[in-house]
């Protein structure tokens, strides 16, 4: 039906998926928790939350979600990954656990726990490319983006280091916007989504 809110899946295997569901509701989407391949059907976009990237990778395999999710994003399904979600989307991974695989759909290299372990977690003001009021950036065992591929747009950086990127319908951040209750990145993601009729 025309005018329906976009149906945005939230990978709900582990991590901060509930906070993403709430953020998506606040920006006018219809969020769907995704735990099985069948729940990918009919989505207009998908969010991959923060959490523990190795555990999420194992669960992608045991639930049978890895291949259909990869195929959907490669096929143009808009995706937004935060923290561990960025690791899952990245083409290349530094310091991955033995056997850890990514979906390989975003041309960046990510380094797990790039800022250090839990005790090195921090908050920082993040300014989006257009300027304006900074976003509160919450970095918890956050990855670093150590390489940005050609065609990948840097949306925000701390100094010279990218912390939010976008390439076509794929967007990712190294921090947790869903925990800051600042929905601007979720709203920016929805701008790239066209609901299916």
The catalytic residues are 83, 176, 178
Query: Could you please report the per-residue DSSP string of the chain?
Result: -TTPPPEEEEE-SSSSHHHHHHHHHHTT-EEEEE-SGGGGTT-SEEEE--S-HHHHHHHHHHTT-HHHHHHHHHTT--EEEETHHHHHHEEEEESPPTT------EEEEEETTTT-SGGG-EEEEE-BTT-SSPEEEEESS--EEEEE-TTPEEEEEETTEEEEEEETTEEEESS-HHHHT--HHHHHHHTT-----
Residue 26 tokens read as 């606040």
As a whole number of angstroms, the distance between CA 147 and CA 124 comes to: 21
Which residues lie closer than 8 Å to 20 by C-beta, 6 or more apart?
10, 31, 47, 49, 82, 178, 186
């Amino acid at each position: 039906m025309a005018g329906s809110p976009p149906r945005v899946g939230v990978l709900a295997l582990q991590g901060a998926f509930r906070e993403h569901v709430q953020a998506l509701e606040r920006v006018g989407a219809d969020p769907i928790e995704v735990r099985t391949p069948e729940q990918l059907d009919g989505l207009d976009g998908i969010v991959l939350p923060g959490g523990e990237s190795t555990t999420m990778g194992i669960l992608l395999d045991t639930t049978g979600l890895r291949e259909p999710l990869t195929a959907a994003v490669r096929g143009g399904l808009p995706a937004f990954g935060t923290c561990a979600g960025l690791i899952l989307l990245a083409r290349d991974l530094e310091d991955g656990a033995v056997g850890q695989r990514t979906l390989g759909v975003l041309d960046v290299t990510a380094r797990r726990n790039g800022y250090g372990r839990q005790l090195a977690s921090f908050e920082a003001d993040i300014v989006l490319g257009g300027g304006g009021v900074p976003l509160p950036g919450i970095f918890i065992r956050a990855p670093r983006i150590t390489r940005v591929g050609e065609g990948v747009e840097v949306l925000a950086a701390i100094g010279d280091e990218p912390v939010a990127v976008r390439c076509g319908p794929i967007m990712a951040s190294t921090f947790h916007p869903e925990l800051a209750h600042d929905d601007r990145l979720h709203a920016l993601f929805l701008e790239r989504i066209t609901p299916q009729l």
